[in-house]
Structure formats: C-alpha cells, structure tokens
Structure 1
Amino acid sequence: MESIILITGKVNFSITLDPGVWIFDDRRIDLNNYFTTEKNSIDETEEYTKSISKHWDREIMEGAVFPPTLKTEKKFEKEKVLNGSFGVPFKPFLKNASPKQSATALIIERESKEDVTISLEEAYQLILGFSKEGKPLLENGPIHVYYGNGSNKENPITHVKGFRII
C-alpha cells in the first residue's frame, strides 16, 4: 500500500492515486520526448471529431480494411511500454478532486524530505512520472513530479507520499 498517494485538504473529494495502473492509462505520455517536443494547445473534442471524420471518410471510400501492419504496430507498442519512461498529467486528478474556492496552493508532501509548495495554477501543469526505462519507481518513488515546463526534468521532485491542497 505504500505506492498509494492521496490528494487531500481543501477539496470537495479526496482522491486516491495508484501509479501501478497508469501504464494502462491512455493519457500516459512518454517522458523521453515530452519536454523536448513542441506543444500545441489542442481542443480534444475537435481533434476527436477530425479523427473520426477521417476514419469514416476512409471507410466510405475504401471499405473497412484493416492495415497489414497492425500486428507489428502492437509489438512496437508493447516494446515501448516495456522499455519507456512514462508519466501522466496531474490536471485530470486535480480537477476531479475539485479544489474549494478558498484553495490557493498545493503542498507536495515528501517522505523524510522538505515538502514543496506551489501555486494551484502551477499544480495544474504538473506531470507525474511513474516509470523509468520500463520499471516502476521503487527506490525514490512511487512517483516523480515534473513541472509542466520541464525545468526540473533532470532533477524531479522525488519521495512523494501525498498532495495537500491549502
């Protein structure tokens, strides 16, 4: 149970996070190239609509054809998961916790280390790293916290045991 992390404090709903299951999360991001690639603000609904429209158009024109490379793509994805370093955005978890109107900051509680306090606006940009080179973060984990701009990419916040909204 030491890998379970809580979001508590001035929130409407306390949230329990289990980094062990994030490898299956579609929101996971590759930390090896996340901070180096250019980010565009994407409207998820618009992006989804475009992809579905493209798929629909292709099926109308060509019929339902499965690509012959599907098997190799799955193998590549499996190898990537087994060897990659991944994280997930903190924003969806923080939104689900629903911070109260009076909340102003987030305290990242650490085990036997000094806690880190950041503004709530910065907290929405955090990335929670949960694996490095295909392995869970057991020694100094269970998660590493990265700032959204990647300024602490080489030296993330480690030994995280919880988040408290104040």
Structure 2
Amino acid sequence: MIVPIVGNVTYPITLDPTVWIFDDRKILLEEAFLHTSEKEMTEEEKYKNAIQNNDWYHHEHIKPPVNKSISKKEREEALKNSYVMPIHHFLEHAEINSDAKNVSLETNKGNINISLNQLWNSYLLFAVNGKIVSENGPVHLYFKDGSNQDKPIKGISKIIIE
C-alpha cells in the first residue's frame, strides 16, 4: 500500500496513503473540484493558503500538519468520507531536479505518461468512505482542473520522475 516517488529527484521518497486520514492537508473529494473565489474564503482559509504558499513554511515545517487532538465526533466523521491529498506537498520534499519534465505512472494496467506540470497539479484519492482504496489502489490520480474526474488514473504503484 505504498507508492514510491523515484527517478530524477534529489530525495526518493515513499508515500504511505494509509496514514493520511487524519492529516490536515486532506480535502474532501466532493469539495476538491469546487472553485472557491477569494471572496468566499473564510479568514482562516486565506491564512492557511498564505502560509502554505510561502517557501519559509515548507522549509521550517518539515513534519506534516496533523491534528494534535481530535474529538471522537471528528474521528468518526473522518472515517465516513472520501478524501484526496494534493501531491505537491510530497513533490517539494523529493526535490525534483530542474531538468525533469515528464512522469511515468506505474499502474496495474501498464505505465501512463503525463507531464510534470500535470502531476504537480493533481490530487491522490486515498480514502473512499473512510477506508483505504482497495480496488485499483492504493491511490487514484485526479487532475485539479477536474478534466479526468470521471476517469481518474487508477492502480498507481510507483511514480517515476523523468
């Protein structure tokens, strides 16, 4: 149930989507493709976006932001929903080399090639109804623009940066 990111990177890393269910960076699947305007964002959302878009945040905060204490109700709610995780958080830590342009996704149906930009602007589906993605898992890839929302790339077992 792990997904390595290897190839043209400084630091090959291994993703373990089974531990993301209580990670603050996760997004509800049904909200992932909604385009919220800046006016509709709450002050808290604006603050989170500002922090996450600053370089100092990524260098100063090596550990992922995870709920320190979560109520029983919040835990039960988390275990009922479907979630995606923006992949860019992990690509930043792998430190992709500047000459990298393409990506090969190793799947259970063969390799699928996409651009590095497409990968950077993607989500990984890791939980369906609060459970790990067992059918064609461990993750499915959705482009943030929603262009493959009806046909995500499934069965990804390795991400190779070229």
TM-score clears 0.5: yes
Counterpart in the other structure of 1:146? 142
Within the candidate set 124, 146, 155, 1:128 is matched to: 124
Equivalent residue, structure 2, for 1:66: none
Q: Point out 4+ residue stretches in structure 1 off by more than 3 angstroms.
A: 39-43, 73-76
Residue of structure 1 in register with 2:36 after alignment: 38
Uncovered stretches (5+) of structure 2, i.e. residues with no partner: 54-69
Are 2:106 and 1:109 aligned?
A: yes
Q: Are 1:15 and 2:21 counterparts?
A: no
Instruction: Measure the CA separation in 2 of the matches of 1:110 and 1:97.
Output: 20
Question: Which has the higher Rg, Structure 1 or Structure 2?
Answer: 1
Q: Unpaired segments of 5 or more residues in structure 1?
A: 48-72
- Identity across aligned pairs (percent)? 36
Inter-partner Cα distance in structure 2 for 1:9 and 1:161? 14
**Larger strand share, 1 or 2:** 2
The alpha carbon displacement at 1:154 in A equals 2.0
Q: CA RMSD in A?
A: 2.2
Question: 1:147–1:93: structure 2 CA closer, same or farther, 3 Å change rule?
Answer: same
- Matched residues in 1 for 2:106 and 2:131: separation? 23
**Alignment coverage as a number of residue pairs:** 138
Q: Could you tell me how far apart the structure 2 residues matched to 1:33 and 1:91 are?
A: 18
**Which residue of structure 2 aligns with residue 92 of structure 1?**
89
SS at match of 1:118: strand
Which residue is 1:68 aligned to? Answer: none
TM-score normalised according to structure 1 size? 0.75
In structure 2, relative to structure 1, the CA distance for the partners of 1:140 and 1:39 (3 Å cut) is farther
Call closer, same or farther: CA 1:75–1:118 in 2, change over 3 Å.
Answer: same
CA distance in 1 between counterparts of 2:129 and 2:149 reads 15
